[in-house]
Amino acid sequence: MIPALTFSIIAAALVYLAGRRDAARDPRLTFLLLVLLGLFPLMAAVLPEIRVLPSHGGTAGMAGVSWIDCLPAIWAAGFALAIIRLSHAVAVLHRWKNQAMEVDRMDGVAICELPSIEGPVATGIWNPVILVPASWRNWPAAHKRIVLAHELAHLTRRDPLWRLLAEVACAVHWYHPLAYWMKRRFIMQCEYACDARVLGQGIDPKAYASVLCDFSSQYSPSRLAPAMAETNSLESRVRRMLKPSVGLNGRTLTLLAILGILTAFSLSMMGRKNHGAANIPAVEVELRWTANPFPAEP
């Protein structure tokens, strides 16, 4: 537990340092640390153990079970609930794809109309599609071009897959607020990356910002399919479009990534030292408590 908590704090600190001057840095560092966070329990179980941490100081209760023994069951219950919720979100997206009707294609990607949604959605890992509401027929041609370019950028970058893996990492660490903070930062960085790709196609930043503002009233229809212009990141995205900032260089980000990998492997191999007093069987503890301290007396 202590190594996992320690790594989550270090990983969040590395993400913060990478985005301290510019939160719109490439999301690959954040994604890497999220994946390492999700794989941390598996790494701790598979990698060889180096016993450097002190053993648990708690003693067994009358039934031979301490509160620490209950932690795996509590974690498993929370993890199962998180996976159920995630599976439901995946099922909803799959149902949307089955209900939608293809109305156009763009760069080989199907554009499907779904009246039940209010804004465009890029979804699908093996069979990607762009879902649009029924009102999209009335959008100006310039709006259509910008919206479809943005959603196509998500699919080109395979963001639905990376988003799913980030959600799995949060399911593993369902109890930890830093995991959710890193996921939100990762989602925001993906939006920044898509914005940059769209602007790289020659679209005017002011026109693009105007379209984002027009879609700012959208709600996020699915945890795996965020709206194009979520209100919690809209202001920073527009500000960066109109006035780009300079962040860390690639060499610094590489060093941060290497530091994160080494930290994850080191902490996952840390085990607890065995102390004789801490490993006394519960039966022997009970026997010592019930033994007569003065056996010579009648």
Of 230 and 243, the one with more pLDDT:
243
Spell out the long-range contacts of 163-167 with Cβ–Cβ below 8 A and sequence spacing 24 or more. 163/187, 163/190, 163/224, 164/86, 164/90, 164/125, 164/224, 165/31, 165/34, 165/35, 165/38, 166/31, 166/34, 167/86, 167/89, 167/223, 167/224
| Residue 148 CA, distance from chain mean position | 25
pLDDT at res. 81 = 96
pLDDT level of residue 209 (50, 70, 90 thresholds) = confident
The count of domains in the chain is 1
Do 270 and 50 form a contact (C-beta atoms < 8 A)? Answer: yes
Question: Residue 205: pLDDT band by 50, 70, 90 thresholds?
Answer: confident
Instruction: Report the alpha-carbon distance of residue 142 to residue 278 in Å, rounded.
Output: 70
Please check whether residue 254 lies inside any domain of the structure: yes
181, 12 Cβ separation under 8 angstroms: yes
User: What is the pLDDT at residue 164?
Assistant: 93
Q: What is the pLDDT of residue 61?
A: 45
Q: Which residue has the higher pLDDT, 40 or 2?
A: 40
134-188 residue pLDDT tens: 888 888 888 889 989 999 999 999 999 999 999 999 999 999 899 999 999 998 8
pLDDT for residue 62: 45
> pLDDT band at residue 229, thresholds of 50, 70 and 90?
low
pLDDT of residue 253: 82
Structural domain contains residue 251: yes
Place of tokens 């999220």: 34
Task: Using the predicted structure, report yes or no on whether residue 28 has a pLDDT greater than 50.
Answer: yes
In this predicted structure, what is the pLDDT of residue 237? 79
With contact defined as beta carbons under 8 Å apart, do 157 and 187 qualify?
A: no
For 43-90, the three-class secondary structure string (H helix, E strand, C coil) is HHHHCCCEEEECCCCCCCCCCCCCHHHHHHHHHHHHHHHHHHHHHHHH
Q: What is the pLDDT of residues 249-276, one digit of tens each?
A: 678 888 989 999 999 998 888 765 554 4
188 is a domain residue: yes
Are 52 and 271 within 8 A, CB to CB?
yes
Look at residue 106 and give its three-state secondary structure: strand
- The pLDDT assigned to 32 comes to 93
Assign residue 219 a region (left: φ > 0; alpha: ψ between -120 and 50; beta: otherwise): beta
Q: Residue 278 domain-assigned? A: no
pTM score, two decimals? Answer: 0.80
Given a cut of 90, whether residue 87 has pLDDT beyond it is: yes
Domain extent at residue 213 = 2-54+71-273
In a domain, 102, yes or no: yes
| CA-wise closest residue to 241 among 167, 150, 176 | 150
Q: What is the pLDDT of residue 181?
A: 93
Structure confidence by residue, pLDDT tens digits, 41-69: 888 888 887 766 555 554 444 445 566 77
Let me know if residue 167 belongs to a domain: yes
Q: What pLDDT is attached to residue 59?
A: 46
Task: Please check whether residue 291 lies inside any domain of the structure.
Answer: no
**Residues in Cβ contact with 10 at an 8 Å cutoff, skipping those fewer than 6 apart:** 260, 263
Q: Decide if 228 is inside a domain.
A: yes
Neighbours of 47 (CB within 10 A): 13
